[in-house]
């Protein structure tokens, strides 16, 4: 299936990526090419086939809902690009 430039621009917004004109051009071609190859799977009949959620049979894992030691505030903020009053700082949202 051919991917259009408009598709690429829409997907870039969903993925929160800023692409240059040139990148949009390149990705339009490459995504079309890769998806054409990947689209081969549409030939397979899968009506009766279950989806894989896990390659081995495993069960969900639960634990007791008890408070345990976690990352310290200092550790959590260690790599933050910007901090103010012990919190992550981001541009104004509202």
Partner 1 sequence: MDITKFSAGDAVKQIKNKEISVLELTDSYLNRIKEVDDRVKAFIQVDAEGARARARELDGSTVNELGGGLPIAIKDNINLIGAPTTCASKILKNYRPVYNAHVIEKLIRGDAVFIGKTNLDEFAMGSSTENSSFGPTHNPWDIERVPGGSSGGSAAAIAAREALWAIGSDTGGSIRQPAAFCGVVGLKPTYGLVSRYGLVAFASSLDQIGPITKTVDDSALLLSIIAGHDRRDSTSLDYEIPDYLANPNSNLSDLKVGLPIELFSESFDEGVKVSVKKAIEILEKKGAKIEETSLSSIEYALSTYYIIAPAEASSNLSRYDGVRYGFRSNDNSDIIEMYKDSRSGGFGQEVKRRIMLGTYALSAGYYDAYYGKAQKVRTMIIEDFKSAFSKYDVLISPTTPTTAFKKGEKTSDPLQMYLSDICTIPANLAGIPAISIPCGLSDNLPVGLQIMADHYGEATLFKVAKELEEEIGFSDIPEL
Gap between the Cα atoms of 27 and 19, Å rounded: 9
Of the residues 66, 85, 86, 91, which one makes contact with partner 1 according to CB under 8 A: 91
Gap between the Cα atoms of 4 and 32, Å rounded: 8
Q: How many residues form the binding site for partner 1 (CB under 8 A)?
A: 52
The position carrying tokens 């004109």 is 21
Q: Counting contacts by CB under 8 A, is residue 67 touching partner 1? A: no
Residue 55 or 86 having the CB closest to partner 1: 55
Of the residues 64, 66, 67, 92, which one makes contact with partner 1 according to CB under 8 A: 92
């Amino acid at each position: 299936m051919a991917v259009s430039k408009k598709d690429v621009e829409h997907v870039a917004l969903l993925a929160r990526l800023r692409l240059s004109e040139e990148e949009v051009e390149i990705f339009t071609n490459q995504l079309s090419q890769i998806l054409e190859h990947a689209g081969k799977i549409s030939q397979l009949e899968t009506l009766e086939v279950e989806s894989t959620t896990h390659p081995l049979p495993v069960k969900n894992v639960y634990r007791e809902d008890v408070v345990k030691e976690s990352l310290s505030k200092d550790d959590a903020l260690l790599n933050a690009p910007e901090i103010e009053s012990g919190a992550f700082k981001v541009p104004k949202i509202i």
